[in-house]
Amino acid sequence: NAPVGIVITHRDRIDVANRQAGHMLGYAADVLRGHEASVLCGSAADYNALIQRVQSEFAAHGAFDGDVCFTRKDGGPVWARVQGRRLDGAGTVDGEVGTVWFLEDLTAAREALRQQGWAALHDPLTLLPNRSAFEQRLQQMLVQQAMYPLGSEDSAPDAVGVLLFLDLDHFTVVNDFAGHDAGDDVLRHVARLIDVQVRQVGWAARLGGDEFAVVLPGCTPARGHAVAEQLCATLRDWQPAYQERTFTLGASIGLVVLSPRWPTVAELLHAADMTCYAAKRAGRNCVVVHHQGQSVFGEM
């Protein structure tokens, strides 16, 4: 009846398992008795790795204390803080030392931490990566490009990558006329449209408000321009209706080629933002390309 799981093993077999241990692991306690301890691990490799870890801890500290991921009877993972102590072998049949294990269930706590970590890097409305996650991932790409610059043996000539900076056109009209709930619905749907369009060749993020970004790793400028034009067409053709009124949206897109000449993500994003603004001034729902320090129109 102890509030923690208690398991006693002897010669790699389970001699005792209390009710709480059985509950954690998905077994009736008496079912575990007599089983090989390896039944609690997902595979022989996992069990062997755990045994090596346990032996190392006992050799160094005379005890074991660490987090372990076991496998429940239904195949699901269960995390536990495990403390192990050697038992005097005087009470055993063969006089050999056994081990008592105390298990504290950490599964719920670990899941909460995982969800918190996911939430910290994702936009709760659209479920896309947020600006922080976007900047982190983009920074990793810039570092990688600096290590393998264009023209090196490790880089294909055209594998430069493209960044698209999108700002929705006429979005404020939806908010002003139909309200913020309708605006949120538009943002969710736009996020899905963008994600579906680019998921095979890149990844998307919501930067905030009605601004989105798309990164197309290894994409040539010409191919990136074609993807941007397709995004414009897709968003223009989608006409949501709220309160018996149909709305026409669109996207102004700034295209910037990813290359080692961008020393920081901040400078890259500033260039993309300004190029997107140039698309707004050009009449909206179009693609403007950043080229050699200035924004130019048309195909590259």
Give pLDDT tens digits for 28-60.
Answer: 878 899 999 999 998 999 999 999 999 988 887
Residue 281's nearest CA partner among 174, 167, 177, 205 is: 167
Q: Which helix (DSSP H) or strand (DSSP E) does residue 268 occupy?
A: helix 265-281
User: Are 78 and 70 spatial neighbours (Cβ–Cβ below 8 Å)?
Assistant: yes
Categorize the per-residue pLDDT at 188 as very low, low, confident or very high, splitting at 50, 70 and 90: very high
Distance of alpha carbon 297 from alpha carbon 288, whole angstroms: 5
pLDDT of residue 147: 63
Range from 17-21, 117-121, 138-142, 157-161 carrying the lowest mean pLDDT: 157-161
Range from 13-27, 58-72, 102-116, 142-156 carrying the lowest mean pLDDT: 142-156
Categorize the per-residue pLDDT at 20 as very low, low, confident or very high, splitting at 50, 70 and 90: very high
The token pair that represents 11 in the structure block: 């010669």
User: Are 42 and 32 spatial neighbours (Cβ–Cβ below 8 Å)?
Assistant: no
Q: Give the number of other Cβ atoms within 10 Å of residue 85's Cβ.
A: 13
Three-state DSSP class for residue 252: strand
pLDDT of residue 295: 42
The token pair that represents 248 in the structure block: 């026409």
pLDDT by residue (tens digit) across 257-292?
988 778 789 999 999 999 999 999 999 999 999 975
Question: Does residue 203 have a pLDDT over 70?
Answer: yes
Residue 186's nearest CA partner among 121, 119, 254, 235 is: 235
